[in-house]
Amino acid sequence: MPGSLASPIAAGQINGRERRSTTLTVGWPLVSAFDLLLAAGVAFVAGVINSIAGGGSLILFPTLVALGMGTVAANVTNSVAQWPGYLGGVAGFRAEYAGQRSRLIRFGAVAALGGTTGSVLLLTTPSQAFDVVVPVLVLLASLLLAVQPLLTRRLQHDEDAGARPDPAWLYVALFFATVYGGYFGGALGVILVGVLGIALHRLKLANALKSALSAVTATISLVIFALFGPVDWTIVAVAAPASLVGGFLGARIATRIPTTPLRLFIVTFGIAVSIYLFIRA
C-alpha cells in the first residue's frame, strides 16, 4: 500500500514487500525539510537531464536510496515523481504524430500490457530479488546511455523516408522493453528509440513514438504504484513539480548545452551507483 512520510517506518517486511531499511527523519523538521529540498533539487536536475541527454532516473533513484528509502520504494517513488515530464515530451512531438493514430493505438496497447506486467512483477516479487537485480539494471541503463550517440548515428545513416509495414518482431520487442520500463525504467527511452529506429528506419518518428510509449508505460505504472506500491507521496509532492519545471527548462536550453560532457557524467555516476549497489547487496 502507498507509503508516506507522515510517520517513521522501521525496517521490516509486510506482505513480502520491503519497508524502509532505515527511518527517515520525520519529526525532525529541519532535517526533514532538507531531505525534501534535496529531493526537489535533484528531481529538477533529473528533469533537465532527461530533456537534454536522458538518464535522469539514474540521478534521482540513488538519491532517494541515500535518503533512507528501500530500493523498491525509491524506484516506485522515482517513477511516480518523474511522470509529469513524460507528458511534456509527448506535447513536444505533436506534429510527428500526424497520421500515426493506428500505430499509436497498437503500440500503446502493447506498452500498456508491458508496463502492467513490469509494475506487477516489481510489487509481487520479493524485495530481495529487486536488490539483486537493480545493480545490473542500473549498469545496463548506464551502458545504454553511453552507446546512445553511436546508435543514433547508425539510425540516421540508415534512415529511409518511405513508409514500411511494422515487422512482427517489433511488437515482441516493445512488450519486453516496456516490461523493463514498468519494472525499473532507467534508460527506457534509449531502448525504445533503438528498437523503433531499427524497425521503422525513421529516427524522428522513433523519437516521437518513444515519448508516447514512455508516457503510456509511466502512466500505467503510476496508477498501479499509486494503488498498491510504497509511494512516498510527500517526496512526490515536491519532486514531481520540480521534475516538470526542469524538463521544460531543459527543453528550452537543450540546444545550448553540450550533451557529451553531461552524458559522460551521468554514465560515470550510474556505473559508480551500480558498483555501490552491488557491494550493498
Quick one: DSSP state of residue 22? S
Tell me the backbone φ, ψ of residue 277, rounded to 5 degrees.
Answer: -70, -35
In this predicted model, which residue has the larger pLDDT, 101 or 151?
A: 101
In this predicted model, which residue has the larger pLDDT, 27 or 92?
A: 92
Residue 197 pLDDT = 82
CB-based burial label for 59 (10 Å; 0-12, 13-18, 19+): buried
Contact between residue 122 and residue 228 where contact means Cβ atoms under 8 Å apart: no
Residue in 28, 30, 34 with CA at minimum distance from that of residue 63: 34
| Beta-bridge partners for 14 | 17
Q: Is the pLDDT of residue 24 over 60?
A: no
Contact between residue 146 and residue 271 where contact means Cβ atoms under 8 Å apart: no
For 150-184, write each residue's pLDDT tens digit. Answer: 777 776 666 555 556 789 999 999 999 999 999 98
In this predicted model, which residue has the larger pLDDT, 153 or 242?
A: 242
Residue in 112, 113, 104 with CA at minimum distance from that of residue 209: 104
Q: How far apart are CA 111 and CA 137, in angstroms?
A: 19
Q: Is the pLDDT of residue 239 over 90?
A: yes
What's the number of CA atoms in the CB half-sphere (13 Å) around residue 53? 28
Q: Is the pTM of this model over 0.85?
A: no
- What confidence tier does 231 reach under pLDDT thresholds 50, 70, 90? very high
What torsion do the CA atoms of 39, 44, 50, 55 make, to the nearest 10 degrees?
Answer: -30
- What confidence tier does 13 reach under pLDDT thresholds 50, 70, 90? very low
In this predicted model, which residue has the larger pLDDT, 57 or 228?
A: 228
Percent of the chain at pLDDT above 90? Answer: 34
